[in-house]
Amino acid sequence: MKKFVLISALALLLAPLLCNSAFAQKKYAEEMRAASVVQAEWYERSLPLLSKKIPAHPKQTTLAQFADPSKADKAEKNELHILVEKRKEYLSLQTEIAINHVRTPGLGYAYAEELKQYTSKLNFLSEELYSGKITFGEYNKKRIELANESSAKMTEAFRIYHAQAHNLKS
Residue 37 pLDDT exceeds 70: yes
> Which pTM was predicted?
0.75
If pLDDT is split at 50, 70 and 90, which confidence band does 30 have? Answer: confident
Domain boundaries in the chain? 9-169
pLDDT tens per residue across span 93-146: 777 777 776 666 677 777 778 888 998 999 999 999 999 999 999 999 999 999
Residue 84 pLDDT exceeds 60: yes
CA distances from 34 to 12, 27, 38, 90, 154 (A): 11, 11, 6, 14, 22
- pLDDT, residue 164, reads 67
Residue count of the chain: 170
- pLDDT, residue 29, reads 67
Average pLDDT, the chain: 80
d(CA 43, CA 45): 6
DSSP, residue by residue, the chain = --------HHHHHHHHHH-SSHHHHHHHHHHHHHHHHHHHHHHHHH-HHHHHHS-SSGGG--HHHHT------HHHHHHHHHHHHHHHHHHHHHHHHHHHH--STTHHHHHHHHHHHHHHHHHHHHHHHHTTSS-HHHHHHHHHHHHHHHHHHHHHHHHHHHHHHHHHH-
pLDDT tens per residue across span 138-163: 999 999 999 999 889 888 877 777 67
In the predicted model, what is the mean pLDDT of residues 54-77?
A: 95
Residue 21 pLDDT exceeds 80: no
